[in-house]
Amino acid sequence: MNILIVYAHPEPHSLNGALKDFSVQHLQAQGHTVQVSDLYAMDWKAPIDATDSLAAPVGPHFHPSLDSKHAYANGVQSPDIAREQDKLRWADTVILQFPLWWFSMPAILKGWIDRVYAYGFAYGVGEHSDQRWGERYGQGAMSGKRAMLVVTTGGWESHYSPRGINGPIDDVLFPIQHGVLHYPGFDVLPPFVVYRTSRMDEARFADVRSALGQRLDTLATTAPIPYRKQNMGDYMIPALTLRDEIAPGQSGYAVHLDASQ
Amino acid sequence: MNILIVYAHPEPHSLNGALKDFSVQHLQAQGHTVQVSDLYAMDWKAPIDATDSLAAPVGPHFHPSLDSKHAYANGVQSPDIAREQDKLRWADTVILQFPLWWFSMPAILKGWIDRVYAYGFAYGVGEHSDQRWGERYGQGAMSGKRAMLVVTTGGWESHYSPRGINGPIDDVLFPIQHGVLHYPGFDVLPPFVVYRTSRMDEARFADVRSALGQRLDTLATTAPIPYRKQNMGDYMIPALTLRDEIAPGQSGYAVHLDASQ
- Please judge whether A102 and B110 are an interchain contact, meaning their C-beta atoms are less than 8 angstroms apart: yes
- Please state, in angstroms and rounded to a whole number, the distance separating the CA atoms of residues B16 and B99: 7
CB pairs under 8 A between A and B: 208
B114 → closest Cβ in A106, A113, A168: A106
Give the pLDDT confidence of A100-143 residue by residue, as tens digits: 999 999 999 999 999 999 999 999 999 888 788 899 999 999 99
Which residue of A lies nearest to B249 if distances are taken between CA atoms? A163
**How many other CB atoms are found less than 10 A from the CB of residue A224?**
17
Tell whether B233 is covered by a domain.
no
- Please judge whether B40 and A46 are an interchain contact, meaning their C-beta atoms are less than 8 angstroms apart: no
Overall number of domains in chain A: 1
**Cis before B238? omega within 30:** yes
Range of the domain at A156: 2-223
Look at residue A39 in the predicted model and tell me its pLDDT.
Answer: 98
Tell whether B25 is covered by a domain.
yes
Tell whether B259 is covered by a domain.
no
From the list A219, A9, A179, A256, the residue with the least C-alpha distance to B49 is: A9
- Please judge whether A40 and B62 are an interchain contact, meaning their C-beta atoms are less than 8 angstroms apart: no
Look at residue B161 in the predicted model and tell me its pLDDT.
Answer: 98
Give the pLDDT confidence of A189-244 residue by residue, as tens digits: 999 999 999 989 999 999 999 999 999 999 999 999 999 999 999 999 999 999 99
Tell whether A124 is covered by a domain.
yes
- pLDDT-derived band at A247 (thresholds 50, 70, 90) equals very high
Task: Give the percent of chain A with pLDDT over 70.
Answer: 100
| List of chain B residues whose C-beta atoms are within 8 Å of the C-beta of residue A103 | 175-176, 179-180
- Please judge whether B165 and A13 are an interchain contact, meaning their C-beta atoms are less than 8 angstroms apart: no
- Please judge whether B10 and A104 are an interchain contact, meaning their C-beta atoms are less than 8 angstroms apart: no
Tell whether A232 is covered by a domain.
no
Q: What b/e sequence results for A39-73 when a residue is b if at least 16 CB atoms lie within 10 Å of its CB, and e otherwise?
A: bbeeebbbbbbeebbeeeeeeeebbbbbbbbbbbe
Tell whether B249 is covered by a domain.
no
Q: What is the CATH number of the domain that holds B102?
A: 3.40.50.360
Tell whether B256 is covered by a domain.
no
A11 → closest Cβ in B44, B63, B250: B63
Q: What angle do CA A232, B160, A229 make, to 5 degrees?
A: 15
| List of chain A residues whose C-beta atoms are within 8 Å of the C-beta of residue B134 | none
Q: Is the pLDDT of residue B259 over 90?
A: no
Look at residue B203 in the predicted model and tell me its pLDDT.
Answer: 96
Tell whether B155 is covered by a domain.
yes
End-to-end CA distance of chain A: 25
- Please judge whether A241 and B158 are an interchain contact, meaning their C-beta atoms are less than 8 angstroms apart: yes
Shortest distance between the Cα of B33 and any Cα of chain A, in A, equals: 29
